[in-house]
Structure 1
Amino acid sequence: PAVMPAPAGALDPAALDEALTALPRPHLVAATAGTTDTGMIDPLPEIADVCAAHGARLHVDAAYGGGLLFSDRYRDLLAGLDAADSVTLDLHKLGWQPVAAGLLAVRDAADLAVLHHRADYLNAGDDTEAGLPDLLGRSLHTSRRPDALKIAVTLKTLGRSGLGRLVEQVCDGAREFAALVHEHPGFELHDRPTLSTVLFRPAHAADDDVAAVRRTLLTDGRAVLGRARADGRLWLKVTLLNPRTRTDDLAALLTLVEGNTPR
């Protein structure tokens, strides 16, 4: 199929088409809907078309971005996700769940057949018949807690629309923070945010200075900032996950960074 080049840093459908043409089958393609560093979403519709043309299976890592499905305003960013054979979701991010509450969704239920594997040391038949609980079939990692119950309680309490409002609040907050950075002459913005992550850095600062201001604010207990390397430089990373973050909080964070950046 005719495909357009992807934005820098995203999976390029044209390069993918060339690779699948050259490689022997079978093919499994893993695309990303919300990278950890920038929140970038791969061009899923184009990738899905390439996969269909080559008979490749498509898996989408939507650990970060999958929460956009709750939002009527932002869910279109995940167009093409429905073409995936399997999708992973990590709802401790845009779902406000415990860190272990991950989900694997599959198009064909037969893909989950491996979860019914029997191991005598875990679920001996006579023990199961005697009423002893087995460890298989309760979570993808066998002995990990079945946090699906907590996801179910949250959905029952807030509903899709309630979670959607929380998603929109943090994504809107990221856009607001990006605008503050863009308008401030003392800072440089990496790019307009896709999700709730913003990369920025003090203008004209060296990478060592960027690292130092992050560590200073962290050890002093005043701000927790991430870090990411993009375009060959080190950036401060703000990932907004608190829907109650206010404009004043965002402005105060910029003031903190500015006041602690080595001159």
Structure 2
Amino acid sequence: MHYCYFRNHSKRCFDPLKEIANIAHDNNIWLHVDAAWGGSSLFSKRFRKLMDGVELADSVCWDAHKMMGMPLICSVFLTKSKDILRAVCAHGDAAHYLFHEDTKDIDLGRYSLQCGRRNDSLKLWIAWREIGDAGWAKMVERYCDLSDYLEALVAESEHLTMMSERRWTNVCFRFESENLDLNELNTEIRNRLMREGVHLVSRSNIGDDVVIRAVVANPLIDESVLESLVSAVERHGQEIIREIPARY
């Protein structure tokens, strides 16, 4: 099996799926696409090209509880091979009181590791009916536009530097200083942001570098929120350099 990521946990990268699929299929390798975040690009005509070749995959997963904002947990696993999914979950056959061969009912318990599932698909179906394809496309594109705006704010700052090329809604950057350990500095900036309780961002690593990782995936975010985030990062960075204690 080969796993193809339509996102990187820190940077949200998209793999060249068509090229990978050619290699996988030529060598009889199962190709699984982890589109937990990036799969949402399919809603947008502007960005669905990032998923070119997904139809060549043997299986795909997508987490609607991530970018689409569904309540946890709301995940989708798709495969072209019903027989393989059935074989993976064959342990349920031992429970003779659950499944019966003479029934004509379609029992999805035979196709799940738990032998049964909560009706998690209902919340996705209801939201989809309410928002629609066009509504979700608008939301995805808004997130991407806001990510462009945040990247521009970072580029304009004298103290901040982008730490990776951005292709989705993850913006990885850090505060720069010539006199301090940058990993310790940015770790403390993130800690102060969390304790301050205004901006929720994560800390991640790209190689050996600690980065501040801001993900735009909230309908309440607008340009003013991102401006406030950049201002807070710069303020905390300057206060750490000047050895000013945190104030909360």
- Give how far 1:173 is off: 0.9
Give unmatched runs, 5+ long, in structure 2: 242-248
1:211 to 184, 187, 192: 187
State whether residues 69 and 218 of structure 2, in contact with CA within 8 Å, keep that contact through their aligned partners in structure 1.
no
Q: Is 1:34 aligned with 2:18? A: no
2:226 aligned partner: 250
Residues 37-52 of structure 1 aligned to structure 2 (within 5 Å): 37-52=10-25
How does the TM-score come out when normalised to structure 1?
0.80
Which consecutive segments of 4 or more residues in structure 1 shift more than 3 A? 114-117, 137-144
What is the alpha-carbon distance in structure 2 between the residues aligned to residue 160 and residue 124 of structure 1?
37
The C-alpha deviation readout for 1:1-20, integer Å capped at 9, x for no partner, is xxxxxxxxxxxxxxxxxxxx
Identity %: 28
Residues 21-170 of structure 1 aligned to structure 2 (within 5 Å): 28-114=1-87, 115=89, 117-120=92-95, 123=98, 125=100, 136-137=109-110, 141-142=114-115, 144-170=117-143
- Provide the aligned length of Structure 1 versus Structure 2: 231
What is the alpha-carbon distance in structure 1 between the residues aligned to residue 158 and residue 121 of structure 2?
46
What is the alpha-carbon distance in structure 2 between the residues aligned to residue 164 and residue 135 of structure 1?
30
Return closer, same or farther for 1:100/1:142 CA change in 2, 3 Å cut-off. Answer: farther
- Give how far 1:159 is off: 1.6
2:171 aligned partner: 198
Q: Is 1:226 aligned with 2:199? A: no
Structure showing greater relative contact order (alpha-carbon pairs closer than 8 Å, 6 or more residues apart):
2
Return closer, same or farther for 1:36/1:209 CA change in 2, 3 Å cut-off. Answer: same
What is the alpha-carbon distance in structure 2 between the residues aligned to residue 167 and residue 141 of structure 1?
32
SS state at 1:89 partner: strand
The C-alpha deviation readout for 1:198-243, integer Å capped at 9, x for no partner, is 0010012521111111111112212111011103200000011113
Return closer, same or farther for 1:139/1:154 CA change in 2, 3 Å cut-off. Answer: farther
| RMSD of Structure 2 on Structure 1 (CA) | 2.3
- Give how far 1:119 is off: 3.6
Return closer, same or farther for 1:140/1:181 CA change in 2, 3 Å cut-off. Answer: farther
How does the TM-score come out when normalised to structure 2?
0.85
2:246 aligned partner: none
Give unmatched runs, 5+ long, in structure 1: 1-27
Return closer, same or farther for 1:259/1:141 CA change in 2, 3 Å cut-off. Answer: farther
State whether residues 44 and 81 of structure 1, in contact with CA within 8 Å, keep that contact through their aligned partners in structure 2.
yes
